[in-house]
Structure 1
Amino acid sequence: MRLNQNILLLGKKVVLVPYTSEHVPRYHEWMKSEELRRLTASEPLTLEQEYAMQRSWREDADKCTFIVLDAEKWQAQSGTSEESCMVGDVNLFLTDLGDPSLGEIEVMIAEPSCRGQGLGTEAVLMMMLYGVTRLGLTKFEAKIGQGNEPSIRMFRKLHFEQVAVSSVFQEVTLRLMMSEPERQWLLEQTSYVQEKPYREGASEPC
């Protein structure tokens, strides 16, 4: 999504930056993991295919992607070496043509040593904030494999409720309706988040 290509979101534990070509090699290494492919329902891609995927995601109006960086590492390195700070990604898919206010959200903390520390939770909250304030979303869905208990628990803690189970795809669908109380809760949870211009020279040519 071009809308977020020059935006950086700064949180306490994570920094969200646009997915650029410099992130592709490490992302590609992550996706060699059979476990990650299973959890994200992804197919194995060659490095060239991964670069093509990154370009398409930057262009597609119905996909908003941020790479998740470890904020502590990123700040220690003054933001110069993002690849070494990468821990995962967070995405919004605006694929329901009949309901532009609905976004399907997913998060992946790919680095095993970074799991269970709240990075995924903060990344989801920050992405929801961006979806509500910048994309006009009022509903979020998360589709999660039935065996991915940590992810299901995380979304439940973020007020998502289970609305469907697919035995065919072996996944559960959770949903959050952004009522006014939920919106206020989200704004309170993310009151510290700062939106900044993405570093100079990082945006790619058309």
Structure 2
Amino acid sequence: MEENRLPFDALILAGGRSSRLGGVPKQDLVFHNATLLQRALAASAGASSTVVVGPRPESSAPGLIWCREEPEFAGPAAAIAAGLEALAQHGSSTTEYTLVLACDMPLVQDAVAALKEALIPGGGDGVVARSGDGTLQPLAGIYRTAGLIKSAAELSSRGALINGSVRSLLASLEVQPVTVPAGSTADVDTWDDAAALGIAAGNQDKGQDRRSRS
């Protein structure tokens, strides 16, 4: 996908409960000196507009759009719908494609590169990452914006958007799976996942830094 020929927006999900991480926000976890949110933003470089669905930190990169799903923690389908609405309010609803990323995949930049390369203009409703073992990762995909908007509206009309799954949101779309590099969609749900990837908690690092200076 050539960014100049096929403009895209980015929609990053960063507002889950992180219940299996004791409530530590995934977006604040640190991998190779960058937070997972920063790495997701780097993976979405070239987007016409970028919306982050999640709690806004005290300081953030300029130019980002921030929003929350209503009610909060209403699930990824509701979060995607909220992000699409926020993009539309900022004049981005006509951008042909939307890159959807969860912020808990530290190596996702490689997956995004593979998705961009595989995306064929006019070829269905987009592409979705697939790992080597065949597992689909719908929160790493490039989707036709109009299709996402239509699907979100249909779910909402049936009262199925709140607590709805991403798979239910994509069920009516013609999406092509793309096998992505090994490990590029590995995500962080537990501290064991984090340890396996060498990820630290940003808040804990800051506390250690303060103690070392005292």
The two structures share one fold, judged by TM-score above 0.5: no
Q: What's the TM-score once normalised by structure 1's chain length?
A: 0.31
Higher strand share: 1
TM-score if structure 2 supplies the norm length?
Answer: 0.30
